[in-house]
A and B are shown apart, each in its own frame.
Chain A
């Protein structure tokens, strides 16, 4: 039933509004949040593939009765195939990512509820609004609709930082909003140029106009639109020059919230990336530009991560660096590379969430994230420490975990495309990621416990351990059976290219 498609967005929004109203009623908030967090990953599993037209306004060619009643000059023109309504497209690719987002959201909410004494209604509201917004970004085939939900997601992310009560969270939120308020309108301006040139904001219609020569695809206006939308994409994804602010927002949010925030970023990154690829990939220097920014993200991300003494900032920079691998997939532009990039995106959402929740338990135990002040935590929960270690290995690309599979595919794709230099950089960044992670793990778990380190809590909440264990299990399953993710992605990429 295609009615399930809009429900993926509507249910989190309704839940968010309800939770905001009930924020002082702890038990009700908790129960509703958990129930909806369970429903969110289930809906994509039971929904049928297809299109959903808001208002029921399908293109004229989809309605043969109406089409036959129209004058021939309209029925036989290109107008008949244009989309008059906002369209949601749901395929195996969207199913995979919405399911992964739902799983990560569930664990983030589950851990959040277990680690905080009082349930924060506004935090839950913002989390569900963010989930709804990011799901809509992934589903929509309308570039303006995407912009609207992109702004809602940005506001939700800012709100999540504001509710964290960490040091300097307001300053970081303001900085993010100021940067975002420049990036957002410029993206809107780019969409305005697209509207001006193509007369539509539906992505399929725009691609149709380009491929059928209805508009000049190399006009200066199109180039300007590309520049502005590309700038908005850099801001949305946290690629350089926005890598510092993006990693700051991860470090100022609570770890379980950061686990969700990075999921928002990765999905926004791939959704806008796919749109840019569909509309502008024929432009000269398109691929080179994306490769340059992706390599910059990888190099700057890992360079800054290795210098951090705060593990939240370290994870933030590592997450930004990992985005570079996804960008490389788009930049190389082959079937294998884009499949690898999108597979890497799926893996990154899971692995980074695991690490944020895993290191979040350290903050729960000690109330600090400074690695210089930590040590000797292996004895508190050795099983948890090993799970976090394996999660770190997955991020670094150690076989047979999922990170290894996707990074190997990216390296193969770059070799196939005749760019061995990119393969070398990718391998070096992987090694540096491994070193960074091992250094942080040693500082937190293995080095002798500092005398002045006091445990605020004696044990880790079970929901956090369960979340980490299940996320790790997904990493191992995707590492051994990568085709679970690569098959739907590859099928989608086939249609894209």
Chain B
């Protein structure tokens, strides 16, 4: 039996790469807006995971300098805290962007009665919307 082991940092990097690739595929090729938004969330989280991974140290300690610690030992063994601090901000930004995108998706669903980007952004707009004959809110409750 082959024993397969992988370094934690390398595993995290592969995971982040997988997140980004899956996210890019969903954001570019999938038609449903919600699926696109989920794909975008994948890309953002992939980038965040990548940055968190940079601060990882095998067998490292929490980067808090406590009284009595030797400075050199601390410098050699603590994790790098900067990426973690950066990612906190990045997560907030990602959440804000997602919230705005979801809000726009809701408005557009009420207008078109569909979550398909081909319908909303493409040339397949229903004639009734193009001509503006009816108020778009009337279509709000229809399912896709």
Contacts and interface: CB of A to CB of B under 8 A. Distances in A.
B111 A155 contact: no
A69 to B, nearest CB: 13
Interface string B50-93: 11001000000000000000000000000010110010011001
Contact of B27 (A174, A182, A201): A182
B97 A178 contact: no
Interface string A200-213: 11000000000000
A148 B89 CA distance: 8
Given A188-B51, A192-B50, A182 B104 contact: no
B47 A174 contact: no
Measured as residues with beta carbon below 8 angstroms from the partner, the interface class of chain B is 20 to 34
Given A170-B104, A174-B105, A195-B82, A181 B89 contact: no
A200 B86 CA distance: 11
A189 B36 CA distance: 19
Interface residues of A, number: 30
A8 to B, nearest CB: 20
A182 B43 contact: yes
Contact of A181 (B50, B82, B101): B101
Contacts of A181: 27, 40, 43-44, 97, 101
A189 B121 contact: no
B120 interface: yes
B38 to A, nearest CB: 11
B97 A177 contact: yes
Contacts, number: 88
Question: Which of B97, B105, B107 has the largest count of A CB atoms less than 10 A from its CB?
Answer: B97
Q: Is the interface of A mostly helix, strand, loop or mixed?
A: helix
B130 to A, nearest CB: 10
Question: Which of A152, A182, A188, A189 has the largest count of B CB atoms less than 10 A from its CB?
Answer: A188
Contacts of B90: 147-148, 188
Nearest to B120: A171
Contacts of A182: 24, 27-28, 40, 43
Interface of A: 144, 147-148, 151-152, 155, 158-159, 162, 170-171, 173-175, 177-178, 180-182, 184-186, 188-189, 192, 195-196, 199-201
Q: What 8 A-B pairs come out closest when comparing CB atoms? A: A181-B40, A185-B47, A192-B51, A185-B43, A188-B47, A151-B93, A189-B47, A174-B104
Given A180-B97, A188-B44, 10 more contacts: A147-B90, A174-B33, A174-B105, A186-B47, A189-B47, A189-B50, A192-B51, A192-B54, A192-B83, A195-B54
